[in-house]
Structure 1
Amino acid sequence: MTRLRYLAALPFAALLLAVGLGLIFGGSGKAAGSPPESFTLSNGMNVLVIPDHRAPVVTHMVWYAVGAADETPGKTGLAHFLEHLMFKGTEKIAPGEFSRIVAHNGGQDNAFTHFDFTAYFQVIAKDRLPLIMEMEADRMTNLVLTDAEVLPERDVVMEERRMRIENNPVAMLQSDMGTALYGGHPYGRDIIGHMEEIAGLTTEDALDFYARFYTPSNATLIVAGDITAAELRPLAEKYYGVIAERAPTFIRDRAQAIWPEEDVRLERRDPRVTQATWIRFLPAPSYRKAEPKDQPAFDVLAEILGRGTTSRLYRALVVEQGIASGVQSWYEGNRLDDGRFGIYALPRVGGDLASLEAAIEAEIARLLAGGVDDEELARAKTVIAASAIYARDSQRTMAYAYGEGLMTGLTVEQIHEWPDRVRRVTKEDVMRAARLVFENNPSVTGELLPGGDS
């Protein structure tokens, strides 16, 4: 079974599919109904219920408030490595049997690692939910790891890094750019970790990490689908509420990101590259760090500037000037610490990156000088609303969006009220966000070019 494994260094088309509150909850209408109900078990585990009674199916997720940014220096990749190892079995379930049991019962399962969280989920018929909860609770406390299981899986992770990062020139460039932007902050490294440090991870490292962070008070259960809080509570208490705390409360203590003092330029040449690529990263506050009224404005800014064929950059560079074959912008606000804003562009065949960069900077200058108009603001909100309508059709997407928001510093109420907040975004809000991103802000620009090794 192919797993999601980790969320980093995605191809650019996939970047725009990454879940963000602006795409999932944005819109011009009011938030529907009451917020999902939440409660806390006696051992500190949080529970959120998102009812969706259209089919007798549920999405069951357990989120741990620990990710790649919480690893001990010198042991990068440990959070993602443990995610792999969580499928190796317990005293009750043999290695590899967890997913086979889920599939045998008609379900699907997967897992993913982020800088700030790690999560495990299953989509299953409602009547199989007790089985899933029993198995997930079992591996929260009873994971069995030996060198015989751990060391071969370490080789799997190393091969995954080769495939996803080292054999992908775009990913390698993004990796270098992330380090240049975030410096010594953990967000400046790949979630999967450094190859030489992955190679040194041990069974003891994994078990220590597991014992420290995989504990009820550091976990949140989210169940979306054909269930109510009244139905879920006794199940949560039966399977998760009986798990004793085994570690002190985890309090994060991360250093603040120190941005570059001046603009940075990176060039990577690779014989595998046939299409030059231009990328720029800029510091931006995360949802958690932005002022409340500014939070949705960054998503609207990204939509107006470079999402889709009606965006400013697409119209100018692709349609009018004909110097780009593709261009997009995005905002990554789903982080506990600082976020970032990104732009990428592909030149038309025979075009050069210098002309492309000049045209992008000219469009940004026009935006800063002239502001946005009523029509493009309304269009951006309409597009975001259409994305939200589609996203709300998927209980798994909704569960993910709430989980990601909770894991990166937002409250249930803030997430639920996102449509109203997007609706209230004004032209002035968008311009304030634009100035925060583009004025007096260092950037990291990367160029990926055909040719020899960089």
Structure 2
Amino acid sequence: MKQILMAVSTSLLLGGTVSAQKVAFEEFDLDNGLHVILHNDPSAPVVITSVMYHVGSKDESPDRTGFAHFFEHLLFEGTENIKRGEWFKIVSGNGGTNNANTSDDRTYYYEVFPSNNLELALWMESERMLHPIINQIGVDTQNDVIKEEKRYVYDNKPYGNFLSEVKKRLFTKHPYRWSVIGSMEHLDAAKLEEFRAFNKKFYIPNNAVLVVAGDFDKTNAKKWISQYFGSIPKGAPIQKQTFAEEPITKTISATYEDPNIQIPAIVAAYRTPSMKTRDARALDMISSLLSDGRSSRLYKKLVDDKKMALQIGAFNVNQEDYGSYVIFGLPLEQTPTTDILKEIDEEITKLQTDLISEKDFEKLRNKFENQHVNSNATIEGIAENLASSYLLFGDVNLINTDIDIYRSITRDEIRQAAKKYLNPNQRLVLDYIPAKSKSAN
């Protein structure tokens, strides 16, 4: 279904900008503080049940990093009524799929089932919230799984530590400074009681949002939600800590040696504002203008025309408290990385000095219209967007109105955002280079 929808969307995009249909939803709260969002779409006989918890790596202690990601795995171990190792068997045996993911700001679990299995999905997620089994065998098992994941995704993968090395230099006080996967030493040192305390604090109804989206009967859905989630006790209120970073006022220069690469990379990274701000949207548009696709400014200049780079990219890491704007380049042959950085700076200076053309501006706006449509092209995408809009932005209807903010961004706002955030004295310059071979003794 997802491939069909995407194919239809792609064919429509060839003719111009697609008009997004409004996502209808109903929302309400249970007495225990669980926020519930329902989105009915009978176009396909599937239903997604998801729970997003407002806990991510930023909620960890500096000496116990990796807990939120650990729980992404641990809470599949089993519950009082779902035996260890049975979770995935139940899901697949009833024609479903499931997964979870963790960020700095939140953790997200979901199941996709045929429509006639909504009650099963709601029961399973309520079990995860109310009756998780957190014991030593589960902790030890997932500890080994996560160590293997770290080796595969970070330690043994070319450029695998790229973003981690950026984060720990851009942030000195905020927990964004450590990676989501955290420290294996911290996980090894943690006691079982610490894992149980973390679960009791964060995986509670008043720190979560439940989304049901797809083909379902609302009367039955509300009955089952009340039946399975209504009796879960409300947790103690969570006081979120705030961390204020001092402004970066001079270039941070750093080097990291990666044993898994042969081609160096040059990285320029800037600390940016919360994703909730207009400036964050303007930076999204700058990112797209500079490096989204072969027609983007940096790609055409450095890869196509001057043939200085094998690859060039820019992206805005949108987060709840701060963001990170990152530009990276891989040189072609003997091109000095300093030359690539100089060319990047020239393009940023143009953005800071001149308004982008009306033609480029219209192309940019069309691209964001299309991205908005595509993000809501599947029931899975809608469910996650509904959850994020509520939990991270405090406005479920942002799923419909966020595109209006992008539409309202002006050319001058794009220029001002570049002038405000993308200056050499406000950034990290990271030389990400191959590890030097050790000479034999």
Secondary structure at 1:417 match in 2: helix
Question: Where in structure 2 are the equivalents of 1:140-289 lying within 5 Å?
Answer: 140-227=129-216, 229-245=218-234, 247-288=235-276
Whole-Å Cα distance in 2 between the matches of residues 224 and 217 of structure 1? 20
Mapped contact 1:51–1:227 kept (Cα < 8 A)? yes
Q: Which residue of 1 aligns with 2:312?
A: 327
Using the TM superposition, name which of 366-375 and 380-389 deviates more: 380-389
Relative to the length of structure 1, the TM-score reads 0.88
Using the TM superposition, name which of 100-109 and 258-267 deviates more: 258-267
Secondary structure at 2:267 match in 1: strand
**For each residue in 1:94-128, what CA deviation from the matched residue of structure 2 results, as whole angstroms up to 9, or x when unmatched?**
11211110011111011111111111111111110
Mapped contact 2:77–2:85 kept (Cα < 8 A)? yes
Mapped contact 2:208–2:391 kept (Cα < 8 A)? no
Mapped contact 1:368–1:431 kept (Cα < 8 A)? yes
Whole-Å Cα distance in 2 between the matches of residues 34 and 153 of structure 1? 38
Mapped contact 1:283–1:338 kept (Cα < 8 A)? yes
The one-letter code matched in structure 2 to 1:344 is F
The one-letter code matched in structure 1 to 2:290 is L
The one-letter code matched in structure 2 to 1:108 is T
Offset at 1:219?
Answer: 1.1
The one-letter code matched in structure 1 to 2:154 is I
Mapped contact 1:146–1:203 kept (Cα < 8 A)? yes
| Residue ranges of structure 2 left out of the alignment (5+ in a row) | 1-15
Whole-Å Cα distance in 1 between the matches of residues 84 and 295 of structure 2? 50
**For each residue in 1:57-115, what CA deviation from the matched residue of structure 2 results, as whole angstroms up to 9, or x when unmatched?**
01111111111111123111111112211111122111121111001111101111111
The one-letter code matched in structure 2 to 1:253 is Q
Distance verdict in 2 for CA 1:181–1:453, change over 3 Å: farther
The one-letter code matched in structure 1 to 2:185 is E
Whole-Å Cα distance in 1 between the matches of residues 107 and 401 of structure 2? 25
Secondary structure at 1:199 match in 2: helix
The one-letter code matched in structure 2 to 1:373 is S
Whole-Å Cα distance in 2 between the matches of residues 112 and 34 of structure 1? 24
Q: Which residue of 1 aligns with 2:33?
A: 44
Q: Which residue of 2 aligns with 1:102?
A: 91
Offset at 1:169?
Answer: 4.8
Mapped contact 1:278–1:447 kept (Cα < 8 A)? yes
Distance verdict in 2 for CA 1:450–1:99, change over 3 Å: same
The one-letter code matched in structure 1 to 2:41 is D
Question: Where in structure 2 are the equivalents of 1:37-436 lying within 5 Å?
Answer: 37-227=26-216, 229-245=218-234, 247-288=235-276, 290=277, 293-333=278-318, 335-436=319-420
Offset at 1:364?
Answer: 0.9
The one-letter code matched in structure 1 to 2:159 is V
The one-letter code matched in structure 2 to 1:306 is S
Whole-Å Cα distance in 2 between the matches of residues 267 and 439 of structure 1? 20
Distance verdict in 2 for CA 1:157–1:74, change over 3 Å: same
Whole-Å Cα distance in 2 between the matches of residues 275 and 395 of structure 1? 40
Mapped contact 2:49–2:111 kept (Cα < 8 A)? yes
Offset at 1:374?
Answer: 0.6
Mapped contact 1:71–1:79 kept (Cα < 8 A)? yes
The one-letter code matched in structure 1 to 2:272 is A
Identity of aligned residues (%): 28
Mapped contact 1:180–1:260 kept (Cα < 8 A)? no
Using the TM superposition, name which of 128-137 and 344-353 deviates more: 344-353
**For each residue in 1:183-233, what CA deviation from the matched residue of structure 2 results, as whole angstroms up to 9, or x when unmatched?**
121001011111211211232111111111111111100122123655532
Offset at 1:145?
Answer: 2.3
Distance verdict in 2 for CA 1:63–1:379, change over 3 Å: same
Whole-Å Cα distance in 2 between the matches of residues 298 and 272 of structure 1? 31
The one-letter code matched in structure 2 to 1:382 is N
Secondary structure at 1:209 match in 2: helix
Mapped contact 2:54–2:106 kept (Cα < 8 A)? yes
Size of the alignment, in residue pairs?
423
Mapped contact 1:173–1:446 kept (Cα < 8 A)? no
The one-letter code matched in structure 2 to 1:78 is F
Mapped contact 2:18–2:373 kept (Cα < 8 A)? no
Using the TM superposition, name which of 351-360 and 100-109 deviates more: 351-360
Whole-Å Cα distance in 2 between the matches of residues 189 and 295 of structure 1? 22
Q: Which residue of 2 aligns with 1:24?
A: none
Mapped contact 2:248–2:425 kept (Cα < 8 A)? no
Whole-Å Cα distance in 1 between the matches of residues 418 and 191 of structure 2? 46
Q: Which residue of 2 aligns with 1:11?
A: none
Whole-Å Cα distance in 1 between the matches of residues 133 and 375 of structure 2? 37
Offset at 1:295?
Answer: 4.5
Distance verdict in 2 for CA 1:410–1:377, change over 3 Å: farther
Secondary structure at 1:412 match in 2: coil
**For each residue in 1:316-364, what CA deviation from the matched residue of structure 2 results, as whole angstroms up to 9, or x when unmatched?**
112221111221211122x221111111112223322111111111111
Offset at 1:378?
Answer: 0.9
Q: RCO greater where, 1 or 2, for CA within 8 Å and sep 6 or more? A: 1
Whole-Å Cα distance in 1 between the matches of residues 22 and 72 of structure 2? 35
